[in-house]
Amino acid sequence: MTLLAVNELSKYFGGVKAVDGVSFGVDHGEIVGLIGPNGAGKTTCFNLISGLLTPTRGSVSLLGHSLGGLAPYYRSRRGLARTFQNIQLFGGMDVLENVLTGCHQRQEIGAFRALWPGRGVRRAETRAEERARELLALVGLAERADFPADALAYGEQRRLEIARALAQEPRLLMLDEPAAGLNSRETEDLMTLLQELRERGITLLIIEHDMTLIMGLCHRVVVLDHGQVIAAGPPSEIRRDPRVIEAYLGREEDDGDL
């Protein structure tokens, strides 16, 4: 069953076509990689899907319902969560609070009930906190719960961002270069974490440049180059696709011109 459907999505900035007629889908329980060279339009795609940008043309739908025109917070409530290429944590909060922020939309506590909390609210808060601590344990940050988010090391911040996104209990989790800036140890840890998520049946859409991660994890890979899908399929096909190698390394026939 198709969870996310991206249809003829386009975004032009002035004369530049950052995303140009991109279509692909993500099925339930699937892990899809979105790869391509720098400037191919991957992050723009993410921003269009999560509603931070308005497309020039095209549509995005989740479970058959169009997300067109919906603000990012409604999309989040429909089940989209994401992380950012340059990590964006709430620096003024501690680690636990960051994750609790992710629980926000599942709590739905009314204004007055939050001010004079009865047993129901307190129970909801306790549940949220338990869940947040579980997620912190999952990403290996249980010990860091009380640290200010600012004080974490870079790799820990990446994992915290994933925990916060998971707290949203998303139908689809979108990760934008989760391995960027990580050393090889940290990348391995991340792989293990993502495999764990896969086993739990979480649907993932990942932008990543680390091919080991992409090829080892994804069921399907979509390759973008200058704003268009140039290839899509299982990793075994993608790794043999000459167009993909071209996109990364440049064209063989270009050489003739030079």
Instruction: Provide the token pair at 221.
Output: 């890979």
User: 1 or 115, CB closer to other proteins?
Assistant: 115
User: 1 or 189, CB closer to other proteins?
Assistant: 189
> Which residues are CB-contacts of 197 (< 8 A; sequence separation ≥ 6)?
166, 173, 204
DSSP secondary structure code for residue 52 in this structure? S
Quote the least distance from Cβ 105 to other proteins, whole Å.
3
List for the chain the helix, strand, coil content (%; round to 5): 45, 25, 30
Interface with other proteins, residue 250, by CB under 8 A? yes
CA distances from 22 to 77, 207, 243 (A): 24, 15, 17
Identify the bridge partners of residue 223 per DSSP, sorted by sequence position.
Answer: 35, 231
Are residues 79 and 172 in contact, defined by beta-carbon separation less than 8 angstroms?
yes
Compute the C-alpha angle 73/99/61, nearest 5°: 30
What is the per-residue DSSP string for 67-122? -TT--HHHHHHHTEEE--SS----TTSBHHHHHHHHHHHHH---HHHHHS--HHHH
Binding region for other proteins (CB under 8 A) out of 3-11, 58-66, 134-142, 182-190: 182-190
Quote the least distance from Cβ 89 to other proteins, whole Å.
8
CA 148 – CA 254 distance, rounded (Å):
51
Quote the least distance from Cβ 220 to other proteins, whole Å.
15
Quote the least distance from Cβ 126 to other proteins, whole Å.
12
Q: Which of residues 91-130 bind other proteins (CB under 8 A)?
A: 91-93, 97, 100-102, 104-105, 107, 109, 111, 114-117, 121, 125
Interface with other proteins, residue 24, by CB under 8 A? no
Question: How many residues line the site for other proteins (CB under 8 A)?
Answer: 74
CA 48 – CA 79 distance, rounded (Å):
15
Q: Which of 8, 54, 137, 154 binds other proteins (CB under 8 A)?
A: 154
Quote the least distance from Cβ 254 to other proteins, whole Å.
6
Quote the least distance from Cβ 77 to other proteins, whole Å.
5
Q: Which of 181, 219, 230, 233 binds other proteins (CB under 8 A)?
A: 181
Contact mark string toward other proteins, 201..240, x via CB under 8 A: --------xxxxx-xx---------xx-------x---x-
Instruction: Provide the token pair at 72.
Output: 């990012």
- Dihedral sign, Cα of residue 59, residue 62, residue 68, residue 74: negative
Contact mark string toward other proteins, 55..94, x via CB under 8 A: ----------------xxx--xx---xx-x-x-xxxxxx-
Q: Which of 10, 43, 187, 203 binds other proteins (CB under 8 A)?
A: 187
